[in-house]
Amino acid sequence: MQQQQEKTGLVWFRNNLRVNDNISLKKAVIENTKIIAIYCFDPKQLATDKFGFQKTAKFRAKFLIETIEELQKNLADLNITLLTFFENPAHKITEIVKQYNVNTIYTQKEWTRDEVETNKLIADKLPKTVGFIEDYDQFLYHPKLVSKDFENIPNVFTVFRKKLEKTVSIEAAINVTAVHEENIIENQTKVPTLQDLGFTDFEVPAKTAFPFKGGENEALKRLENYFFETKKVGFYKKTRNGLIGTDYSTKFSAWLANGSISAKTIYWKIKEYEAKHKANQSTYWVIFELIWRDYFKYISLKYNNKIFKIGGILDKDYQWNYYQKDINKWINGETKDDFVNANMIELQKTGWMSNRGRQNVASYLAKELLLDWRIGAAYFESQLIDYDVHSNYGNWMYVAGVGNDPRDRKFNTKMQAERYDANHKFRKMWLEKTLF
């Protein structure tokens, strides 16, 4: 009997930091006799952008480190070794390919500018014999089922949502099985510490609405708690505009952003909850939010780098300001608006802000101060634990009047504060000077 030719697959983890429902990992396991994995903490992601913000500041950096530590353990349970480096992936991956005689690289498909640039650098250095397989793996509705041409994606969310809900099904989540323990290789790499990345360790205030750690197990724990232990998902639509505490919203966004949980995993858990308990407006509304998340990804696929342009996808020609004094006041919570200030201080101290807060502070920057909305988007990118390029820029364009909302609305932050913080509890929490 002829012996199977040995093939080595390299799984390059990006924003798909999980072992459950991971198509790249599944393909690598099926198609190869040996599998190794790699994650690179890319120094480029810690660089300062053109607006003067560090692209990834301490909150997301810590969450990412926790996520990679958990991924390494979960892969070890499958007898797969995760090599970790604090280096540019374009350099490191080509080295690893040579060192381990890799036949094929498996990774999540990305399409925004920084990721495409990295892909090109890698592809240019790889031998032609090495395969490079990319898969869309961050959607609820898989692109192959949605459109053959992303130019056809509707510019109105409701049209997009209704068509998908009527005609496209959600695929089953994928299971990945362990490989033989002979697959394990010696690992002399280590996950960098916060200090290695240039940060000092820190504690987040106990009053934070996001006290959670990074990692797939933590995401699954939160899923179980929010759906089945507390059953808070049954009240989500009523509480989702809250400002204080861990349970006014699902808090899934941070784990979704780095891919330590998939949208499909959440969807099928909702269906499990509905089967055991009951479906209601709240359980549907979680799915509704996942569809919004998909939508911003499809808008990004349709318009590519236009989502980063000052005129947005509408090519709107507004006059924007660049007053550093106003920018600093907005960042530091020193504007004339106490509701905006409280939200900005929460972000500065915790790396988190509610959805209601985000809409208000974004509208204040773009519509009240008339500052270039991309400054706000870049600051959010730096600070937010749950930064997701497509949702971040999609939402900022939307609020600034250069995206998927032709009505070009402005939030009345005073009325919003009266409605959502009538007792001033949230504002007092973040504006009053306290020790803890």
Contact 333, 342 (CB under 8 A): yes
Average pLDDT over residues 393-419: 91
Among candidate residues 339, 338, 383, the one with its CA nearest the CA of residue 360: 339
Token pair listed for 161: 């949502």
What is the domain-level CATH number for residue 291? 1.25.40.80
Contact 374, 310 (CB under 8 A): yes
Residues 288 and 386 in one domain: no
Residues 386 and 345 in one domain: yes
Residues 114 and 37 in one domain: yes
Quote the pLDDT of residue 200: 97
- Alpha-carbon gap, residue 436 to 28, rounded angstroms: 48
- Alpha-carbon gap, residue 371 to 326, rounded angstroms: 8
Range of the domain at 232: 216-305
Residues 237 and 344 in one domain: no
CA distances, 62 to each of 18, 159, 211, 276, 348 (Å): 17, 39, 12, 36, 15
Total length of the chain: 436
Domain count, the chain: 3
CA distances, 248 to each of 178, 202, 209, 349, 392 (Å): 37, 25, 9, 19, 21
Q: What is the CA angle 290-292-294, rounded to 5?
A: 70
Asked if residue 277 is part of any domain, the answer here is yes
Asked if residue 114 is part of any domain, the answer here is yes
Cα-to-chain-centroid distance, residue 259: 7
Asked if residue 51 is part of any domain, the answer here is yes
Token pair listed for 67: 């996520």
CA distances, 203 to each of 59, 200, 324, 350 (Å): 10, 10, 29, 9
- Alpha-carbon gap, residue 267 to 139, rounded angstroms: 11
Quote the pLDDT of residue 406: 65
Instruction: Please say which residue of 102, 137, 172 terminates a domain.
Output: 137
- Alpha-carbon gap, residue 436 to 362, rounded angstroms: 27
Contact 180, 37 (CB under 8 A): no
Quote the pLDDT of residue 5: 80
Among candidate residues 418, 316, 303, 292, the one with its CA nearest the CA of residue 367: 316
Say which residue the tokens 């699902």 belong to: 250
Asked if residue 191 is part of any domain, the answer here is no
Please, which pLDDT band fits residue 115 given cuts at 50, 70 and 90? confident
- Tens digit of each residue's pLDDT (9 = 90 or more) over 133-174: 999 999 999 999 999 999 999 999 999 999 999 999 999 999
- Alpha-carbon gap, residue 108 to 137, rounded angstroms: 6
Quote the pLDDT of residue 1: 36
Please, which pLDDT band fits residue 114 given cuts at 50, 70 and 90? confident
48, pLDDT greater than 70: yes
Quote the pLDDT of residue 434: 56
- Alpha-carbon gap, residue 215 to 67, rounded angstroms: 4
Residues 50 and 89 in one domain: yes
How many alpha carbons lie under 13 Å from residue 147 in its C-beta half-sphere? 14
Asked if residue 68 is part of any domain, the answer here is yes
22, pLDDT greater than 90: yes
Residues 350 and 288 in one domain: no
Exposed, middle or buried: residue 225 (CB in 10 Å: 0-12, 13-18, 19+)?
middle
- Alpha-carbon gap, residue 436 to 111, rounded angstroms: 42
What is the domain-level CATH number for residue 424? 1.10.579.10
Asked if residue 436 is part of any domain, the answer here is no
Helix (H, G, I), strand (E, B) or coil at 283: helix
112, pLDDT greater than 90: no
Quote the pLDDT of residue 294: 98
- Tens digit of each residue's pLDDT (9 = 90 or more) over 313-322: 999 999 999 9
- Alpha-carbon gap, residue 365 to 59, rounded angstroms: 23
Instruction: Please say which residue of 137, 171, 195 terminates a domain.
Output: 137
Asked if residue 154 is part of any domain, the answer here is no
Q: How far apart are the two ends of the chain, measured CA to CA in Å?
A: 70
Residues 18 and 105 in one domain: yes
Average pLDDT over residues 2-23: 89
Residues 63 and 89 in one domain: yes
- Sign of torsion, CA 178 31 189 62? negative
Residues 391 and 425 in one domain: yes
Quote the pLDDT of residue 237: 96
- Alpha-carbon gap, residue 419 to 32, rounded angstroms: 57
What is the domain-level CATH number for residue 132? 3.40.50.620
Residues 292 and 409 in one domain: no
Average pLDDT over residues 248-271: 98
Exposed, middle or buried: residue 292 (CB in 10 Å: 0-12, 13-18, 19+)?
middle
Average pLDDT over residues 387-400: 96
Segment holding 143, helix H or strand E = helix 143-146
Asked if residue 160 is part of any domain, the answer here is no
Quote the pLDDT of residue 119: 87
3-state helix, strand and coil shares in percent for the chain, rounded to the nearest 5: 50, 5, 40
- Alpha-carbon gap, residue 52 to 383, rounded angstroms: 13
Give me the helices (H) in 191-316, please. Answer: 216-224, 236-239, 253-257, 263-276, 281-303
Residues 347 and 394 in one domain: yes
Instruction: Please say which residue of 87, 103, 137 terminates a domain.
Output: 137
- Alpha-carbon gap, residue 351 to 380, rounded angstroms: 9
Per the model's pLDDT, the better-predicted residue between 405 and 249 turns out to be 249
Exposed, middle or buried: residue 19 (CB in 10 Å: 0-12, 13-18, 19+)?
buried
Say which residue the tokens 């750690």 belong to: 213
Residues 290 and 376 in one domain: no
